[in-house]
Amino acid sequence: MGILEGQVALVTGAGRGFGRAIAERLAQEGASVALLSRSLAELDEVADAIRKAGGTALAVRCDVTDVHAIEVAAAKVKDLLGPVDLLVNNAGVPGPFGPIWHVDPDDWWRAQAIHIRAPMLFMHEVLPGMVERNRGRVICVSAIASRIVAPNLSAYCTGKIAQNRLVAEAAAELAETKVAVFAIDPGFAATQLARDTAADPDARRYFKPLIERIEMHPHAYGEDPDLARCAQRCLDLASGRYDALSGGYFELPDDLDAKLAEKAA
């Protein structure tokens, strides 16, 4: 029996990279996992892998920025798997790259739709049920970019800062319930998203440190240790042991037990 046996988890951006690693780890611990993204072919591959390993998975194509699409997807998940106990907002985009006066404003704003609008819409959709049942957890996959100034990366940094604040606000509003909300940095891995970034002309022109980090990354594609570390962090937060830390943002090196002790003190 896994620690998430009987629970339903919904993971956005679950077709590859960190989203896939998270979904597979949650399934290993007994959760029935709903996999959401716009690419159904990728989702089907992940769902097949989970089922072959003995787990339960449902692939649902969904535009995570569209209210109607989210409502339809959530209804399908509830009908086929049950009400959502754990929401992992993982969908993200890295760009656009370049100075604020260079980037396309529409591209910049579309990035915010994924960084900010999508998590808000999903929380708006699933939190009423969690509050009614007085249990549930939400994890937003943020980034170190949420606490640094990175020139030529304004869309990403702004979106991730907003995610952390959205988590803090939700946690404050949920303080009288047993629903917890967290933000995390997933770490760094040579995911397809990273490879797409390395191939982006503007990223190569304006954000050379990131390109160098991607191209010099020592781990083979899909074999990065941070994939497993991130998935384990999500499982730890999903376990309920750290609900007292609701509203916080955590990076992989953070000692959650130490932070729990500090809060208790």
Query: Which residue stretches of the chain have pLDDT < 70?
Result: 192, 217-222
Residue 126 CA to residue 6 CA, distance in Å, equals 17
In angstroms, the CA 56 to CA 211 distance is 37
Tokens 């535009």 identify what position? 63
pTM listed for this prediction: 0.94
Distance CA 218, CA 99 (A): 30
Encoded tokens for 16: 């590859």
Q: Helix/strand/coil (H, E, C) string of 112-166? A: HHHHHHHHHHHHHHHHHHHHHHCCEEEEEECCHHHHCCCCCCHHHHHHHHHHHHH
Q: Is the dihedral of CA 247, 118, 178, 259 positive or negative?
A: negative
Residues 6+ apart with CB under 8 A from 59: 35, 40, 43, 44, 46, 47
Q: Domains, the chain, ranges and CATH?
A: 8-189+222-257 (3.40.50.720)
- pLDDT at residue 199, as a whole number: 77
Looking at residue 194, what is its pLDDT?
73
Q: Which of 156, 206, 242, 249 is catalytic?
A: 156
Q: What is the pLDDT of residue 211?
A: 78
Coil, strand or helix at 220: coil
Tell me the C-alpha distance between 163 and 142, whole Å.
7
- Give residue 218's pLDDT: 62
Rg (CA), the chain: 18
The answer to whether residue 249 is catalytic is no
Q: Quote the pLDDT of residue 217.
A: 67
pLDDT of residue 203: 77
